[in-house]
Every structure is written in C-alpha cells, then in structure tokens.
Amino acid sequence: MATSVDSTLLIGLPEGTPRIKYTTMRKLKNLVDKTVKACSSDTSHNHSPFIVAKDIPPTILEEFDKIYPDKGPRLSANIKERILLLKITSGPGHETAVAAVEYYINRELEKMNLDETIIISGSTRATGSTSVKEPDGGFTRGHHSWPTLVIEGGASESATKLKMDAQWWLESNESITEIALTIEVSRDSPTITFQKWERPVKRE
C-alpha cells in the first residue's frame, strides 16, 4: 500500500521532512545518524528532526528493537498504512518542559498517596492493533500497559502536529488514555504553550 498524503502521521510535520522508501533497518539507522549530526550542527534549525519511512514490513518493530535494544529515536507507526515516523532529536527546552511536567504531576500524586498506583512510564511504547506510538512522557496505572496520561511536546512540531498526537492517544480503539498534555515550545519567542486534551465523554 502506498503512503497516503492524508495519513494522520504526516499532518503538521516540518517542511522538508525526508520521506524515504524503507529497505533495511541498517540503512535507516545510517540516515538517522546523519540526521542527528545535521540537526546538532544546525543553529538555524532548518533541518527537520523527523524521518518518514514508507512501505515498512509487518516485522518493523522487531527489526527496530534489534537495532535499538535500548533507547532509540521516538517512533510512531501505522502498520496498516505501512508508514513509520521517527522523531530523531528534541531540543533541551522541549526535554526540560516534559521532565518538569512529569516532576510536578508526580509530586501531586505523592501528596495523594497515589505514586505507587500511578507511576511515571516515560516514553514507554503503546501498541494498538494497527498502529504504535511512543510519547515524550507519561503515567501508567500499575497493572496497565497503556498510559492513562501522556505528554507530547516539541519545538519543531506545529500546533496541528501536537493536536494530532493528542487525538491518537485519546481516540485509538485500544486506548485507555484519559488525558493528553501538549507542550509547544516556541523557537521564535520565549513562549511555551500548554494544552490539555481529554477523552470525549460517550453519550448513552
């Protein structure tokens, strides 16, 4: 199946985000390494920190985990549409904002004696029947594998991209996520925009 321009994974990506046809994970890793170097040396932030790979195989997650047994690029994938989206880098402002939000939420959980019931799960992967995603941060109930609260942030993503991320977490069929927090860190002004998204209430 060819990559659809209407795929929600592709909405709101920075202009110039590379889109390639998948061949092997080794070749994709080489491109990831080149992108990391390009982004780290680009003070004008002209390089997109994302890579889109189309025509991925059904075994993409196994291949990814074999190359990246520990921490790799943040991934999102739609197995049905055969699209993989890798988030290669994130700026220090973005990482600091996500870590700060996790810290303050966890502190409130401690005050309510819930810190052993709802735990920080960070970027732990959530897998659905046709798609998979790793958040920038999150909290999970101890006996669940899917986060109840996620945090998505970035300095390169548009507000539209962050909105689509939140929508994925709240509307996926298998999801039990109740709240998605988005953090948009502006590179043009000293501004951070927080938004809270909640699961729609089902009407009887």
Structure confidence at residue 42 (pLDDT)? 64
**Where are the domains positioned within the chain?**
8-87, 92-198
pLDDT at 40 over 70: yes
Give the CA angle between residues 91, 184, 97 to the nearest 5°: 55
Structure confidence at residue 129 (pLDDT)? 83
Q: Is 55 left (phi over 0), alpha (psi -120 to 50) or beta?
A: left
Which has the higher per-residue pLDDT, 191 or 4? 191
Q: Please give the Cα distance from 180 to 191 (Å, whole number).
A: 20
pLDDT at 20 over 80: yes
Cα 147 → chain centroid: 13
Structure confidence at residue 130 (pLDDT)? 86
Structure confidence at residue 91 (pLDDT)? 61
Per CATH, which fold does 92-198 belong to? Answer: tt1808, chain A (3.90.1570)
Q: pTM score, two decimals?
A: 0.86
Reported as half-sphere exposure (CB side, CA atoms, 13 A), residue 38 has a value of 15
Per residue in 70-94, pLDDT tens?
888 999 999 999 999 999 866 666 7
Q: Taking residues 107-131, what's their average pLDDT? A: 92
